[in-house]
Chain A
């Protein structure tokens, strides 16, 4: 082989180059023209999307000595990340400007976090995956703490960092155990080792426990959820939006690459662990969310519960379950983008609007945004005709298909009392009198995109076929069992 084939990692190279260029360009941009960096970031995302779209992979292509893989799942999730980061930037521009965070570092850090997610998504070796996890996490720690004057943000960053370091330690420890058991760091070789002669079972399972813990931390499911509410609450809302969206796609990819790609042979073992994580998350996440008075904390517990539902599809350990989980994650990310988009609109200079009561009478202030928020709440609650219904439908179908009827029953009962707190937001917006009467102001691009985003929840809830098909095809083409 003469040269290295760069194509599998082309979108990553684009983002890395863009991040470096913006870092330099930003030095020469005066404060008043900071939007140059902003638009450069958006441009980079656009180019990366186009590059991914032009080089779509039907079957998996490995590169860099099997360190990375570009397959249809990777393409799909990467594009998902690009779109959600781009929307996040559009929605939070006003918010960042008002708080002095509309700076070059912010964009560069966001791009590096994105790069980390992409590395996770395309990782085909334990090392690559771990590198992606770290790159993503370190950038996010810095972003959370970037509002230095705010104690809560600093505290959140500290918590995130300490717990995150612990989690990646566990992941690394687990990976090294599996390496010990199978003799390889390569996802494919580990999978082959598991299928061949029986490796050291005890060592393997011992490592598996730590790997699952590391993944669970990334996803933020009970009992590894402690960081989620604090970070969601403490971080500037714009970065809460970032943490709550694209990294969930990467988290799904991490679980898919490790548990299915490498450790499918041990599915019977991790299935049981995921059942526990899933049940605890949906039951506790929904329950604790009820008592929250902060929107961000409430959505944090909602995220915990939703990742529990996502695992409900994943733990079936078959292609249908994985594609259901993938659909669930995409639907969840789409919904979260819209809901935090409205939360961002509510906030103004020096006013975070993160209390639930800030939603009071929104219908009388801005009926349209109240309607978008209503859609997101019903989507999170899984009520048709929103996309959240099909997300739940698919994971329940996958679970019941595997014989886990009881799991689906636990899931629906938890979503019943989960509906309570989503409905409370609707109640505040529609039934209560507003505290203030000023309508929400939004930039023109945000108005268009946020409306489209909200309506997409409805459209995908009525015509989900394309997305369901896409998720199924992606997993089939990428040779997941």
Chain B
């Protein structure tokens, strides 16, 4: 069997280096084509991960293990289970979209832009596939570098501030995680993540480890109150950057919760579950209200992302298979929907160079096809049945009601809030009479944009109509993981 996971990591990185080698903007078309080929190749090598995936086992599959640094028992150890495999696919898929979305839009330093995205894509695949603590950390940190450059070089007017804030915020969390990883190594004499699941730990140690990991991942998710970097980063990042941030890097944080926190420190997780659930509910409800009043479309979607990710952490800390699977489904769905929403804003921004809702109005008159696409995505964002957005939210709410009625009730408020902020924005931007001359001059989506949005629309509908294809993959792994969490390590 070919080393699919290594290919998923290294094909984009090598392609990215090849793109960088193209160099100056005179060769921009070459850079674009190499980038697209690299992204597509990177996606194709991940497809077998789905076809050949065995859904009946929770064991790691496609495992690769080579000695890396024997002095610390560090291995180049890759593998995926039902929890992580879908994210490798999602990431590789989104990378194709991002390259495509930046096709004509990015005109300066094209090679560096495309190269940065491809390298980042490989690194993110590494995060999801790594089964060794140091390997995970290496990928986890290294992906900050391209993102920092993407926001800072191709971002909006306040890009420098946003890029720095993004970097330092995420670094804060991950540095403490490094201490936690080394501590775990000292206790267990290994960096194998799966071996850490079995290491007995006292409650005090568990709580301290929980805090270190929690900071790392909560910043990434991001959870209230450490979410403030996200709106800044989103608003300033170029469209592709926003797409990857929302669709993928936020998932890295949530993935860390389920890969590290729950199984490694289960007692602390149960002990502090109420705390996390409270923060999640604040994110869901309070940030929902914050989203309602935003004047900038990207900011609105950014806040909506925080609110949706609150569902994910809520689902995880209910400790039921339904909740955890709901959380994971929500992650995948949000990957599609937020990517689509940012692509939509990007389409409008490329024409009008403004993201303010007030500058728009009556877009449907000039861009009917675009309006139809955006309608679908707005509905998915508000959790309409039949779209992917419904699946995860419904499962989490169901699990929450089972745990405690009021918990479920509070979480369900989002169904109203989500619909309110998304559809209200949609109404103000798309419906009504043509607001001004700029809107009147808009042209409908180009063929490139049509297919771009069309592919995502298919994914959103496919997951909404047939969620089983996604849930089945994760079911056994999630059940097994929760059994693990149920066992005390004291």
Residues of A within 8 A of B (CB): 363, 367, 378, 383-385, 389, 393, 396-397, 400-401, 405, 408-409, 412-413, 415-417, 419-420, 423, 426-427, 430-431, 464-465, 468-469, 472
CB atoms of B69 and A465 under 8 A apart: yes
User: A426 vs B149: C-alpha distance in the bound complex, in angstroms?
Assistant: 9
Please tell me which stretch of B174-182, B250-258, B379-387, B426-434 contacts chain A, meaning at least 4 of its Cβ atoms lie within 8 angstroms of it: B174-182
If A385-B142, A389-B141 touch, does A431 touch B152 (CB 8 Å cutoff)?
yes
- CB within 8 Å for A397 and B69 given contacts A384-B141, A389-B141: no
Residues of A within 8 A of B137 (CB): 384
Residue of B nearest to A469 (CB): B71
Known: A400-B183, A423-B148. A415 touches B142 (CB 8 A): no
Q: What is the bound-complex CA distance between A400 and B68, given in angstroms?
A: 22
Question: In the complex, A405→B179 CA distance in Å?
Answer: 8
- Whether the pair A427, B152 counts as a contact (CB closer than 8 A) is yes
Q: Is the CB of B69 within 8 A of A468?
A: yes
A427-B163 CB under 8 A given contacts A383-B145, A384-B142, A385-B138: yes
| Residue from A389, A396, A420 within 8 A of B164 (CB atoms) | A420
Question: Does the CB pair A412–B159 fall under 8 Å?
Answer: no
A329 vs B149: C-alpha distance in the bound complex, in angstroms? Answer: 29
B275 contacts A by Cβ under 8 Å: no
Residues of A within 8 A of B23 (CB): 367
The contact sample of 9 A-B pairs, CB cut-off 8 A, is A383-B144, A385-B142, A396-B179, A397-B182, A400-B183, A416-B171, A430-B153, A431-B153, A465-B70
On chain A, the residues within 8 Å of B213 by CB distance are none
| Closest beta carbon of chain A to B59's beta carbon, Å | 28
A378, A400, A420: the one contacting B168 at CB < 8 Å is A420
Return chain B residues, CB-CB under 8 Å to A419: 167-168, 171
Smallest CB-CB A-B distances: 6 pairs: A412-B175, A384-B138, A431-B152, A465-B69, A384-B141, A400-B182
Question: What class of interface size applies to chain B in its complex with A?
Answer: 20 to 34
Report the bound CA distance from A469 to B183 in whole Å: 21
CB distance B70 to A383 under 8 Å?
A: no
Complex contacts, B345 vs chain A, CB 8 Å: none
Q: How far is the CA of A409 from the CA of B212 in the complex (A)?
A: 10
Bits for B123-167, please: 1 = Cβ < 8 Å to A, else 0.
000000000001001100110110011001100000110011001
Q: Answer yes or no: B424 CB below 8 A from chain A CBs.
A: no
CA distance A410 to B431 in the complex (A): 55
User: Given the complex of chains A and B, what is the CA–CA distance between A400 and B186 in angstroms?
Assistant: 8
B185 at the binding interface (Cβ < 8 Å): yes
In contact, B171 and A431 (Cβ under 8 angstroms): no
Q: How far is the CA of A393 from the CA of B182 in the complex (A)?
A: 8
Specify the chain A residue showing the minimal Cβ separation from B176. A412
CA distance A385 to B139 in the complex (A): 8
CB distance from A431 to the nearest CB of B (A): 4
Does B458 sit at the interface, judged by CB under 8 A? no
Q: A400 contacts B179, CB within 8 Å?
A: yes
State A332–B171 Cα separation when bound (angstroms): 21
Pair A405/B69 contact, Cβ less than 8 Å: no
Query: Which residue of A367, A409, A431 contacts B179 across the interface (Cβ within 8 Å)?
Result: A409
Q: Find the B residue at minimum CB distance from A468.
A: B71
Q: Check if B358 is an interface residue, CB within 8 A of chain A.
A: no
> What 0/1 pattern do residues 2 to 36 of B give for CB contact below 8 A with A?
00000000000000000000010000000000000
Which chain A residues border B69 with CB–CB below 8 Å? Answer: 464-465, 468
A residues less than 8 Å from B142 (CB atoms): 383-385
Once the chains bind, are B71 and A412 in contact (CB under 8 Å)? no
A462 (CB) vs chain B CBs: closest residue:
B138
B120 to chain A, nearest CB (A): 13
Q: How far is the CA of A363 from the CA of B153 in the complex (A)?
A: 10
Whether A389 contacts B182 by the Cβ 8 Å rule is no
A397 touches B72 (CB 8 A): yes
Instruction: Decide: A378 near B145, CB < 8 A? Known: A393-B182, A396-B178, A412-B179.
Output: yes
Give min CB distance, A268 to chain B, whole Å: 22
In the complex, the answer to whether A415 meets B175 with C-beta atoms within 8 Å is yes
Among candidates A396, A397, A423, residue contacting B167 with C-beta atoms closer than 8 Å: A423
* A412 contact from B68, B152, B178, Cβ within 8 A: B178
- Supposing A393-B178, A415-B175, A419-B171 touch, asked if A426 and B148 sit within 8 A by C-beta, the answer is yes
Is B372 among interface residues, defined by CB-CB distance under 8 A? no
**B145 contacts which chain A residues (CB < 8 A)?**
378, 383
Taking the complex as formed, is B295 at the interface, i.e. its CB lies under 8 A from any CB of chain A?
A: no
Inter-chain contacts of A384 with B (CB < 8 A)? 137-138, 141-142
Closest chain A residue, CB of each to CB of B23: A367
In the assembled complex, how far is the CB of residue A464 from the closest CB belonging to chain B, in whole angstroms? 6
Report if B403 contacts A (CB, 8 A): no
Given contacts A383-B144, A409-B179, 17 further A-B contacts (CB under 8 A): A367-B112, A383-B141, A383-B142, A383-B171, A384-B137, A393-B182, A400-B182, A400-B186, A401-B186, A408-B182, A415-B175, A416-B171, A426-B148, A430-B152, A431-B152, A469-B71, A472-B71
Closest to B140 in A: A384
Chain A residues positioned under 8 Å from B272 (CB to CB): none
Q: Which residues of the partner chain B approach A426 to less than 8 Å between Cβ atoms?
A: 148-149
The docked-state distance in angstroms from the alpha carbon of A419 to that of B141 is: 13
For B69, give the chain A residue with the smallest CB separation: A465
B172 at the interface (CB under 8 A from A): yes
- How many Å from the CB of A106 to the closest CB on chain B? 38
Which residue of chain A lies nearest to B137 when distances are taken between CB atoms in the complex?
A: A384
Cα A430 to Cα B113 in complex, Å, equals: 12
Residue of B whose beta carbon sits closest to that of A396: B182
The answer to whether A397 touches B152, judged by C-beta atoms less than 8 angstroms apart, is no
Minimum CB–CB distance for B94 against chain A, Å: 23
Instruction: Output the least CB separation between A115 and chain B (Å).
Output: 34
For B71, give its contact among A363, A415, A423, A465 (CB under 8 Å): A465
Most chain A CB within 10 A, of B72, B182, B185, is at B182
B152 cross-chain contacts in A, Cβ below 8 A? 427, 430-431
User: Could you tell me the distance between the alpha carbons of A378 and B146 in the complex, rounded to whole angstroms?
Assistant: 12
B74 to chain A, nearest CB (A): 9
B141–A416 CB distance below 8 A: no
CA distance A392 to B381 in the complex (A): 43
Residue of A nearest to B172 (CB): A416
Find chain B residues with CB under 8 A from A409 CB.
176, 179
Residues 101-134 of B contacting A (Cβ, < 8 Å):
112, 134
What is the distance, in angstroms, from B168's C-beta to the closest C-beta of chain A? 6
Interface centre among A401, A417, A423 (most CB of B within 10 A): A423
Give the CA-CA distance A161 to B210 in the complex, in Å: 51
The smallest beta-carbon distance between B131 and chain A, in angstroms, is 17
Residues of A contacting B186 with CB < 8 Å? 397, 400-401
CA distance A384 to B153 in the complex (A): 21
User: For residues 402 through 431 of chain B, which have their beta carbon under 8 Å from a beta carbon of chain A?
Assistant: none
Chain B residue with the shortest CB-CB distance to A406:
B179
Nearest CB of A to B24, in Å: 9
* Cα A409 to Cα B164 with chains together (Å): 22
| Complex contacts, A464 vs chain B, CB 8 Å | 69
A423 CB contacts on chain B under 8 angstroms:
148, 164, 167-168
**A-contact 0/1 string along B181-192, CB 8 Å cutoff:** 011011000000
Cα A397 to Cα B179 in complex, Å, equals: 8
A127–B183 CA distance with the chains assembled, in angstroms = 42
Q: Chain B residues near A431: list those with CB within 8 A.
A: 152-153, 159-160, 163
Out of B148, B172, B183, name the residue touching A405 (CB < 8 Å): B183
Measured CA separation A455–B487 after assembly (Å): 47
Q: Given the complex, which residues of A lie within 8 Å of B134, measured CB to CB?
A: 393
Residues of A within 8 A of B178 (CB): 393, 396, 412
Cα A217 to Cα B71 in complex, Å, equals: 33
Residues of chain B within 8 A of A413, CB atoms compared: 175
- B66-104 vs A, CB cutoff 8 Å, 1 = contact: the mask equals 001111100000000000000000000000000000000
Shortest CB–CB separation between residue A4 and chain B, in angstroms? 39
- How long is the Cα–Cα vector from A378 to B171 in the complex, in angstroms? 12
Q: Closest approach, in angstroms, between the C-beta of B221 and any C-beta of chain A?
A: 19
Q: Shortest Cβ distance from A330 into chain B, in angstroms? A: 15
Chain B 367-378: CB-based contact to A (< 8 A → 1; otherwise 0): 000000000000
Known: A378-B145, A465-B70. A427 touches B164 (CB 8 A): yes
